[in-house]
């Protein structure tokens, strides 16, 4: 399937204009920054603050915004109209996801700066954040595709929020309840591992394992979202 950057950019610009005029949704951009100020006032050394901030922001900003954008297009029948133009599935998905990607990257960077977090390895941190944004965008796409309205989309994010942001906390219980060990394989838990690396004393394995697990989640959820997107737009 071909990709036209021109068409993807046209969809990006359209989404930007729509999003910036939709105050009910665009207000979510403020929350991560607000959280960052709150945590900073509690002291930058607050344990788990950066992990909680980033994981929560990825759900309430990235996934929620994407789910609402997709659901609104479905609710107003514009998604089908868009698919009957020469824009391909990938043009539409890339165009729609780009806005959420850019917004998430900027807001997360600002929030991290406000909190005063300094990553041990900036390259690893950047890679993990980029993969996480893609992953949570895909999760948002899936939620949006299963929702008929924006309201449904906002509610469908709740399980994602519960599972993904709760996983790092649940994984702590793995010593007493081995079944919780599985939560350690969630991308949010792996992100927390990466964020917790010290300036010294970590091996390549300490970096690669979490990155690969996050990458695997990203690939799987992205493929699922594309396949679902194609199938949900058919009336079979």
Q: Is 44 in the site for another protein (CB under 8 A)?
A: no
The tokens describing 144, both together, are 């949006």
Closest CB to another protein among residues 6, 175: 6
Stretch that binds another protein, among 1-9, 51-59, 174-182, 191-199 (CB under 8 A): 1-9
Q: Which one of the spans 13-21, 162-170, 190-198, 206-214 is the region binding another protein (CB under 8 A)?
A: 13-21
> Among positive and negative, which fits the CA dihedral 215, 217, 219, 225?
negative
CB of 99 to another protein, least distance (A): 14
By CB under 8 A, name the one of 30, 34, 78, 173 that touches another protein: 78
Q: Residues 147 to 166: which contact another protein by CB under 8 A?
A: none
Q: Which residues of this protein are in contact with another protein, per CB under 8 A?
A: 2, 4, 6-7, 9-11, 13-14, 17-18, 21-22, 73, 76-82, 84-88, 233-236
């Amino acid at each position: 399937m071909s990709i036209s950057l021109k068409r993807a950019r046209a969809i990006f610009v359209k989404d930007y204009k729509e999003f910036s005029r939709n105050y009910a949704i665009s207000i979510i951009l403020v929350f991560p920054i607000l959280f960052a100020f709150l945590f900073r006032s509690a002291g930058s050394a607050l344990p788990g603050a950066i992990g909680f901030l980033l994981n929560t922001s990825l759900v309430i900003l990235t996934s929620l915004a994407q789910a609402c954008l997709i659901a609104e297009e479905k609710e107003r029948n514009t998604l089908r109209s868009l698919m009957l133009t020469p824009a391909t599935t990938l043009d539409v998905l890339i165009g729609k996801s780009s806005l959420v990607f850019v917004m998430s990257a900027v807001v997360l960077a600002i929030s991290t700066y406000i909190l005063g977090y300094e990553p041990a390895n900036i390259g690893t941190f950047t890679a993990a954040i980029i993969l996480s944004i893609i992953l949570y965008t895909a999760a948002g796409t899936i939620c949006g595709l299963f929702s008929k309205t924006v309201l449904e989309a906002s509610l469908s994010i709740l399980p994602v929020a519960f599972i993904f942001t709760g996983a790092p906390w649940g994984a702590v219980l793995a010593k007493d309840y081995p079944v919780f060990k599985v939560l350690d394989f969630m991308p949010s838990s792996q992100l927390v591992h990466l964020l917790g690396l010290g300036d010294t004393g970590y091996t390549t394995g300490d970096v690669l394992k979490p990155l690969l697990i996050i990458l695997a989640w990203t690939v799987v959820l992205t493929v699922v979202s594309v396949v679902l997107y194609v199938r949900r737009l058919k009336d079979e």
